[in-house]
């Protein structure tokens, strides 16, 4: 920490590192460290006796304000909600989305460098790989005691209490961590030691296996699209199609090998394709679309949206969905139910603002920001990510860090120039 190397900057950065590591482990631990980050930020403001972040320029301000605009849209929809109490509960839960941006807007983060931000990425990778190793150890012990692997998997992930190990969210953590590892390898290859490269490649293999083993269809789609994008990017920057084809063949071999050894995943995909109209998710989408069509402009309000979902399930004869209180399993539909067209437009503004800023500023991080944005937006097609703390914590932190990446780049004087680390790594 070259600038402002004081105890409160060190404390704030340590909390940021712990938060990046805690979110993929357990959402309650992540929430604790986010609240600790807010407290640390206020302590820092008192110590510094100044409010505001000189690093945040006008264009970067929009990237950080995206979550606040989305949250305010939901708050406005409370005006036409009948169930005010439920609406306030939803707004309070979603306020976590604002914590990172709020802390970075009011607190001076000039001490942050590219190396320190990369440290947060490494914390995410270590924590995600660590949870996978923990799962493998538990699975090995359970199997040795005579428990079937599929039954153990169901207890560990699919049926875990409060859904804190929900496979779709874990797959998103792992795919984002994989993209970060790819960025480290391609952008800093010459600076890395041999052991550093080996560890990064090993972590990439662990994360790939993790995505496959958590048995998430959305996770496999995200991984496939992001890895294909990275391979194309690698071919373009290295100008070697043989290298790209070789890596693609290796990835395909690994995926096919794992799926063949775990037939439950292949069976799940084939059953979904063969019986689309009987799939529960299809029924959920159909029912929610019926509700949206009845009031597409302003929605039903953040307080009444869930009650409307349950009522629609009952009217459509989907009793299981009504009893379980299923959400839309699609954040775009969820936002339209809550606030109509304004809700989905504010959501898209929130999701796309960092990428638009990166493109306009010709940032060298444009590619990695584009892949991160693509991963999140694809996952929102299959899950209502902003209805759970697992999604709110991770997405809120990821988007705030993407904005900070560009702020740090501008501070170093390299934004908008032809200084491309990808080309330097060739």
Residues in the chain: 426
Query: What are the residue boundaries of the structural domains of the chain, listed by start?
Result: 76-108+276-426
Q: Read off the tokens for 294.
A: 């009845």
**Kind plus residue range of the DSSP H or E element containing 404:** helix 389-411
Among residues 345, 367, 86, 111, which one has the least CA distance to residue 226? 367
Among residues 303, 377, 289, which one has the least CA distance to residue 333? 289
How do the residues of the chain divide into helix, strand and coil, expressed in percent and rounded to 5? 80, 0, 20
Q: Read off the tokens for 380.
A: 């929102």
* Tokens 């692997």 found at: 149
> Do residues 223 and 141 touch, judged by C-beta distance below 8 A?
no
- Pick out the chain residues at pLDDT < 50: 2-4, 159-163, 272-277, 417-426
Question: How far apart (Å, rounded) are the C-alpha atoms in residues 172 and 401?
Answer: 16
Q: List Cα–Cα distances, 252 to 234, 257, 268, 285, 360, in angstroms.
A: 17, 8, 19, 31, 35
Question: How far apart (Å, rounded) are the C-alpha atoms in residues 308 and 7?
Answer: 51
pLDDT value of residue 149: 64
pLDDT value of residue 400: 92
pLDDT value of residue 156: 66
Question: How far apart (Å, rounded) are the C-alpha atoms in residues 337 and 162?
Answer: 24
Rg (CA), the chain: 22
Q: Residues 74-95: pLDDT tens digits?
A: 999 999 999 999 999 999 999 9
> Do residues 76 and 299 touch, judged by C-beta distance below 8 A?
no
Among residues 360, 361, 331, which one has the least CA distance to residue 347? 331
pLDDT value of residue 421: 47
pLDDT value of residue 422: 46
pLDDT value of residue 371: 94
User: 346: which residues sit within 8 A by CB, 6+ positions away?
Assistant: 69, 70, 72, 73, 335, 339
Question: How far apart (Å, rounded) are the C-alpha atoms in residues 64 and 399?
Answer: 8
Q: Read off the tokens for 101.
A: 């941006």
């Amino acid at each position: 920490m070259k600038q402002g190397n004081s105890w409160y900057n060190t404390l704030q950065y340590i909390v940021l590192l712990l938060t990046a590591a805690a979110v993929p482990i357990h959402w309650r631990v992540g929430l604790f460290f986010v609240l600790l980050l807010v407290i640390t930020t206020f302590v820092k403001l008192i110590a510094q006796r100044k409010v505001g972040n000189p690093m945040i320029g006008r264009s970067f301000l929009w990237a950080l304000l995206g979550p606040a605009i989305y949250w305010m849209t939901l708050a406005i929809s409370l005006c036409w909600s009948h169930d005010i109490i439920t609406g306030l509960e939803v707004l309070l839960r979603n306020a976590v989305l604002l914590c990172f941006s709020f802390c970075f807007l009011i607190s001076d983060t000039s001490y942050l460098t590219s190396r320190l931000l990369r440290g947060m990425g490494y914390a995410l990778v270590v924590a995600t790989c660590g949870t996978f190793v923990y799962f493998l150890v538990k699975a090995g012990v359970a199997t040795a005691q005579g428990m079937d692997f599929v039954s153990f998997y169901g207890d560990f992930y699919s049926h875990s209490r409060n859904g804190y190990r929900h496979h779709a969210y874990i797959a998103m953590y792992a795919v984002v961590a994989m993209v970060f590892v790819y960025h480290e390898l391609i952008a800093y290859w010459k600076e890395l030691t041999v052991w550093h490269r080996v560890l990064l490649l090993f972590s990439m293999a662990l994360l790939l296996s993790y995505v496959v083993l958590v048995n998430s269809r959305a996770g496999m789609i995200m991984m496939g699209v992001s890895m294909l994008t990275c391979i194309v990017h690698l071919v373009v920057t290295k100008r070697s199609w043989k290298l790209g084809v070789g890596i693609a063949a290796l990835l395909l071999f690994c995926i096919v090998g794992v799926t063949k050894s775990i037939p439950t995943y292949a069976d799940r995909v084939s059953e979904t394709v063969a019986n689309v109209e009987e799939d529960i998710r299809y029924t959920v989408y159909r029912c929610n679309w019926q509700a949206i069509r009845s009031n597409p402009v302003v929605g039903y309000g953040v307080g009444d949206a869930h009650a409307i979902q349950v009522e629609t399930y009952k009217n459509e004869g989907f009793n299981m969905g009504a009893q379980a209180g299923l959400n839309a399993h699609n954040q775009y539909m969820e936002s339209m139910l809550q606030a109509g067209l304004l809700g989905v437009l504010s959501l898209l503004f929130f999701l796309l603002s960092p990428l638009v800023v990166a493109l306009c500023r010709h940032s060298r991080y444009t590619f990695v920001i584009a892949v991160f944005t693509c991963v999140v937006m694809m996952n929102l097609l299959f899950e209502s990510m902003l209805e759970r703390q697992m999604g709110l914590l991770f997405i809120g932190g990821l988007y705030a860090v993407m904005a900070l990446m560009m702020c740090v780049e501008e501070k170093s004087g390299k934004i908008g120039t032809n200084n491309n680390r990808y080309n330097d790594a060739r």
